[in-house]
Amino acid sequence: MKISRGEDNFVTLPAFAAKLYDSMMQSSATKMQYKEIAQDLVSLMHSGRLLDVGTGPGYLLREIHKLNPEIELHGIDISNAMVEQASRNLADITVDLQCGNIKATNYKSDFFDLVTCSGSFYLWDDPIDSLEEIYRILKLGGAAYLYETHRDINKQELWQKMRENLKGDNLIRKFLSPRFFIKQIGMTYAKKEIAEIIEKTNFVRNYKIEGITIYNLPVWVRVRLEKCT
Ligand SMILES: C[S@@+](CC[C@H](N)C(=O)[O-])C[C@H]1O[C@@H](n2cnc3c(N)ncnc32)[C@H](O)[C@@H]1O
């Protein structure tokens, strides 16, 4: 039997767990994380149609909307509880939210100008099929940007930087957030593994994996995947 990388836990995620996740994502550090990713995305796209895969509570979509309300927003998530949480969080803006697995969606081919995700790719049980689906739904000339943590990191340095980031937060977040993040990082891919997956897809000749720092944490990669002729 195939062991799920994590997406199975989200399919059956109860509403209270989605609420707990939502509350964890409101730390000042996480807010800055969404803000920095959104700033990067709006610098890459001025108008058009954007999909956030594994949108969770939808905070990245909210930040993008704040910076550029012209962008047409779509979000997909495998967890119904997360989609309901995102619907509540984004009730005041126009956004299309769907519950579904990125490996097989209902979107038309050549539909999106940009596809993104933050901290979701590492959970997908079928990353190759999922990237092929992203290739299908992207317009020609469009690109996907995946913001993921990777596990080739210095844990000591990470703890110290996380403590600095959470100085102003309440005790529960100070205790839970770093543990949650370290656990997540342990489940993520090494950079080399990400490349091996991409090389089995249509993005093989048009990708770039860059190590980046987001909100003081040098544990991220930005993966750019272009759909070219
Ligand atoms: C760690 S959360 C990140 C949520 C959000 N991107 C954020 O930054 O707060 C991962 C999300 O990916 C979703 N997810 C996992 N596997 C998925 C898949 N195959 N297709 C769509 N969503 C998926 C989960 O339900 C969960 O909401």
CA distances from 126 to 84, 121, 175, 191, 205 (A): 24, 10, 33, 17, 20
**pLDDT of res. 4:** 92
Asked if residue 90 lies in contact with residue 97, where contact means CB atoms within 8 angstroms, the answer is yes
Domain boundaries along the sequence of the chain: 7-226
Among 78, 149, 176, name the best residue to mutate to test ligand 1's pocket (greatest count of ligand atoms within 8 A of Cβ). Answer: 78
Verify whether ligand 1 is closer than 6 Å to residue 53 (CB atom): yes
Residue 28 has pLDDT above 90, yes or no: no
Residue 1 has pLDDT above 80, yes or no: no
**Greater model confidence, 105 or 181:** 105
Verify whether ligand 1 is closer than 6 Å to residue 76 (CB atom): yes
User: In angstroms, rounded to a whole number, what is the distance separating the alpha carbons of residues 212 and 214?
Assistant: 6
User: In angstroms, rounded to a whole number, what is the distance separating the alpha carbons of residues 39 and 58?
Assistant: 16
**Greater model confidence, 79 or 168:** 79
**Each residue of 144-199: pLDDT tens digit?**
999 999 988 888 888 888 888 888 888 887 888 788 888 888 899 999 999 999 99
Ligand 1 centroid from CA 177, angstroms: 17
Verify whether ligand 1 is closer than 6 Å to residue 55 (CB atom): yes
Verify whether ligand 1 is closer than 6 Å to residue 120 (CB atom): yes
Mean pLDDT is highest, among 3-12, 81-90, 153-162, 167-176, for 81-90
Sheet holding 95-99, edge to edge: 95-99, 71-77, 48-53, 112-118, 138-149, 217-226, 207-214
State the Cα angle at 218 between 212 and 223, rounded to 5°: 30
**pLDDT of res. 136:** 98
Ligand 1 centroid from CA 31, angstroms: 17
Domain 7-226 in CATH: superfamily?
Answer: Vaccinia Virus protein VP39 (3.40.50.150)
**What are 20's two structure tokens?**
């707990």
Terminal-to-terminal C-alpha distance of the chain: 38
Ligand 1 centroid from CA 75, angstroms: 10
**What are 183's two structure tokens?**
């656990």
Q: Quick one: pLDDT band at residue 95, thresholds 50, 70, 90? A: very high
Atom of ligand 1 nearest to the CA of 82: 27
Verify whether ligand 1 is closer than 6 Å to residue 118 (CB atom): yes
AA letter at 49: R
Helix H, strand E, coil C: the string for 114-139 is: EEEEECCHHHCCCHHHHHHHHHHHEE
Q: How crowded is the C-beta side of 155, counted as CA atoms within 13 Å?
A: 9
**pLDDT of res. 221:** 96
**Each residue of 35-78: pLDDT tens digit?**
999 999 999 999 999 999 999 999 999 999 999 999 999 999 99
Residue 229 has pLDDT above 80, yes or no: no
